Amino acid sequence: MADDFGLSRRNLLAAGAAFSGAIGLGGSGAGAASPPGPKVPADTGAVQGERVMFPNWRGAGDRPPAPIPAPQPPGTRVGYCVVGLGRLSLEEILPAFAETKRARLAAVMSGSPDKARLVARQYGLPESAVYGYGDWERLKADPAVQAVYVVTPNAVHRDNVLAAAGAGKHVLCEKPMAAHSAEAREMIAACEAAHVRLMIAYRCQYEPFNREVARITRAGEFGRPRLVQAFNGQTTGLPEQWRLRRALAGGGALPDIGLYCLNGVRALLGEEPAQVTAQVFSPPDDGKFAEVEESVSFTLTFPSGVIAQCMTSYGVHESRRLTVHSAGAEIDLENAFAYRGQRLSVTHRSGKAVSRDERLLTPKNQFALEMDHFARCIQEGLRPRTPGEEGLQDQVLMEAIYEAARIGAPVKVGPPAGAGSGLDVTRGPEPEEAG
C-alpha cells in the first residue's frame, strides 16, 4: 500500500529531512543547541568529522539525548594485555572492553595456563595472545599490544610495571599503586626512563557521578565546603585470600578500600591535606586480621580549612558513601565507590522549604572510561588524569595515616616536594566527556 501512494520508507525519510530544513529543525528546535556545521536532517543525521550527528528531537522540557557513540575502528584502537586474571579482571575489566571506544583486548597474561587459554578463547583471542608471567620478552615483540593493565596483588605491581616498561609498553596499574612509597617511586622512574606512560586506575575519578560531586563542590554552587565524610566498608571472609596477607597487600582495609576515601576526598577538593590523625583497630579474637587491620578511621585537615572524616572497615555491612557539607547544602553520593548504582542528591533550602533534589546522570562503565582515557593519552601524547604521581601521593599519605595511628598524634603532611601550588598538583588534565 505504501508504494501505491509513493510513501516508501526512503521517500518518507527524505520528506522528513526536507520538512526539518523548512521549519528549522536542523539542531535548532526548542531547547536544543545547534551542532557545529550545516543543519543536520532530523531523522537521517549527517556525518560531521568522525561522528554521525543528529539534532535534538526532544522539547525544552526533556533532557537532551546523549551524543551518538563514536567508537574507533578496531584496528586503530589501543591494544591492551591484561596482566592477572583474578576476580576483578574476569568480573569487571574484561567485560568492560565491550563498552570501550578507543581500547581493545589484545592479549592476556596469567600464571595459570589453563585459565588463560580458556579466557582467550572466550574473548576471541588466538593462543599466540596468551602469555605467562615469564613471557615479557615475547610480549615486547607483539605489535598488537601497546599497553598493559596490571591487575595483580599489590606487592607484585612494582615488578610487573618495571617489566612492562622494559618491554616498551605503556602501563595502566591497579590501585593501590604499590605496597610502599619507595616502590611507587621506582615505578615512576622506570616508566620515565623507558618513555612510556604510567596511569593508576582510580576509576572513580572517571565516573560521572563522582565527577559531578567534584564539579558542584568546586564551583561553590552552595557555598564553600566545610566538612566531608567518606565511608567505604564491607565484610571479608575467606581468611586465605591474599588481601589479608601483609606481604602481598601492604595493609588491610586502608590500602584496599579505604584508599577510595583518601583519593576520593583529594580528587573532590583538588587540595592536598596538611595534617592527618588516625586510629586503627583489629578484633583480637579474629584470626583473619592477624597480619592486617580490620578498621581505620582517619581525619584529613586541609589548608582551606576543610576537615574530612574518613572511615573504612572489613567488618561492617557493605556501605560506600561520600557526603559534602557546606553552609548551603548537603551533597550526598550513595554507592560512591561501588562499581555501579550511584545515586546523587542535594539537600538545600528552596524558598521557605527544604528541598532534596536527586540529580540523574547517565551511568557509564567506570573501567571502560578509564581504559579509554588512557588509550586517548597514548594516542594523543597526553598526561593521564591519574598518573604515577597521583598514586605515589596516596602511598605517602597512607604511610602517614599508619604513623599517626601508631604514635597517637597528628602527622604533618602536604603536597609533594616541588609540586608547586594550586589545585590538582599530582594530576593531569580533566578527562574528556564520554560520548
Contacts of 160 (CB under 8 A, 6+ apart): 83, 84, 148, 150, 152, 173
Q: List helix spans (H) across 270-383.
A: 366-380
Residue 241 resides in a domain: yes
The reply to whether 135 and 93 lie within a common domain is yes
143 and 283 within one domain: no
Domain end, chosen from 201, 228, 250, is at 201
- And the C-alpha cell for 167? 618491554
SS3 232: strand
**Which of 131, 202, 206, 260 is the catalytic position?**
260
**Final residue belonging to a domain, choices 201, 223, 249:** 201
- Is 8 a residue whose pLDDT tops 70? no
User: If you average pLDDT over every residue of the chain, what do you get?
Assistant: 91
C-alpha 435/C-alpha 430 separation (Å) is: 15
In the DSSP assignment, the letter for residue 223 is B
Answer yes or no: do 195 and 216 share one domain. Answer: no
Domain of residue 161 covers 74-201
- Same domain as 262, residue 184: no
Does one domain contain both 194 and 294? Answer: no
What is the pLDDT, as a whole number, of residue 333?
Answer: 98
Report pLDDT for 43: 85
Quick one: what percent of the chain has pLDDT higher than 90?
Answer: 81
Structural domain contains residue 166: yes
Which residue would you say has higher pLDDT here, 23 or 234? 234
State the pairing for strand pair 295-301/147-150: unpaired
Residue 44 has pLDDT above 50, yes or no: yes
- Spatial separation of the C-alpha atoms in residues 172 and 152, rounded to whole Å: 12
Q: Tell me, what's the pLDDT at 19?
A: 44
Cell numbers at residue 266, please? Answer: 583529594
Report how many domains make up the chain.
Answer: 2
Is 356 contained in some domain? yes
User: Does 86 lie in the same domain as 217?
Assistant: no
Strand pairing category for 343-350 and 353-359: antiparallel
Least confident window among 31-40, 231-240, 345-354, 391-400? 31-40
Q: Does residue 78 belong to any structural domain of this protein?
A: yes
Q: What is the pLDDT of residues 224-261, one digit of tens each?
A: 999 999 999 999 988 889 999 999 999 999 999 999 99
The stretch 418-432 carries a mean pLDDT of: 92
Residue-level pLDDT at 45: 84
Are 208 and 363 within 8 A, CB to CB? Answer: yes
What's the rounded Cα separation, in Å, for the pair 101 and 136? 27
Of 254, 261, 176, 172, residue with least CA distance to 210: 261
CA-wise closest residue to 172 among 194, 191, 150, 155: 150
Mean pLDDT on 410-418: 95
Out of 175, 202, 288, 402, the active site residue is 175
% residues pLDDT > 70 (the chain): 91
CATH number of the domain residue 256 falls in: 3.30.360.10
Residue 260 a catalytic site member: yes
pLDDT digits 0-9 by tens, 181-221: 999 999 999 999 999 999 999 999 999 999 999 999 999 99
pLDDT tens digits along 91-118: 999 999 999 999 999 999 999 999 999 9
pLDDT at 65: 83
Asked whether the beta carbons of 183 and 125 are under 8 A apart, the reply is no
pLDDT at res. 188 = 98
For residue 133, indicate whether it is catalytic: no
CA distances (Å), origin 304, targets 112, 273, 301, 309, 413? 50, 9, 8, 15, 14
Whether the CB-CB separation of 147 and 170 falls below 8 Å is answered with yes
Cα dihedral across residues 335, 339, 343, 347: positive or negative: positive
Residues 184 and 222 in one domain: no
Distance CA 246, CA 289 (A): 10
Quote the cell numbers at residue 6. 509513493
Torsion angle of the four alpha carbons 246, 249, 251, 253, in this order, in degrees rounded to the nearest 10? -130
Q: Is the pLDDT of residue 23 over 60?
A: no
Yes or no: say if 145 and 107 are a contact pair by the CB < 8 Å rule: yes
- Say yes or no to pLDDT of 32 above 80: no
Domain for residue 304, yes or no?
A: yes
Query: Is residue 316 a part of any domain in this protein?
Result: yes
392, 394, 400, 404: CA torsion to nearest 10: -170
Size of the chain, expressed as the number of residues it contains: 435
Domain end marker among 166, 185, 201: 201
Residues 174 and 225 both lie in one domain: no
- Identity of residue 162: L
191 and 224 share one domain: no
Overall average pLDDT of the 43-70 stretch: 86
CA distances from 249 to 116, 198, 255, 286, 363 (A): 24, 21, 8, 18, 31
Residue 435 domain-assigned (yes or no) = no
Rg (CA), the chain: 24
pLDDT of 138 above 90: yes
CB atoms within 10 A of CB 193: 10
Residues 312 and 397 in one domain: yes
pLDDT at 15 over 50: no
Residue 29 has pLDDT above 80, yes or no: no
Q: Which of 222, 196, 413, 174 is nearest to 325 (CA)?
A: 222
Kindly state whether residues 398 and 274 are assigned to the same domain: yes
Q: For position 3, what pLDDT does the model report?
A: 45
Inter-residue contact 178 to 250 (CB < 8 Å): yes
How confident is residue 37, by pLDDT bands cut at 50, 70 and 90?
Answer: low
Q: Model-level pTM? A: 0.89
Write the CA distances from 393 to 91, 194, 413, integer angstroms: 29, 22, 10
Q: What is the pLDDT of residues 266-306, one digit of tens each?
A: 999 999 999 999 999 999 999 999 999 999 999 999 999 99
Q: Which amino acid is at 5?
A: F
Helices first, then strands: H and E counts in the chain: 13, 17
Q: Answer whether residue 276 is part of any domain.
A: yes
CATH number at residue 134: 3.40.50.720
Angstrom distance (rounded) from CA 112 to CA 134: 12
**Residues 212, 131 share a domain:** no
pLDDT of 141 over the 60 cut: yes
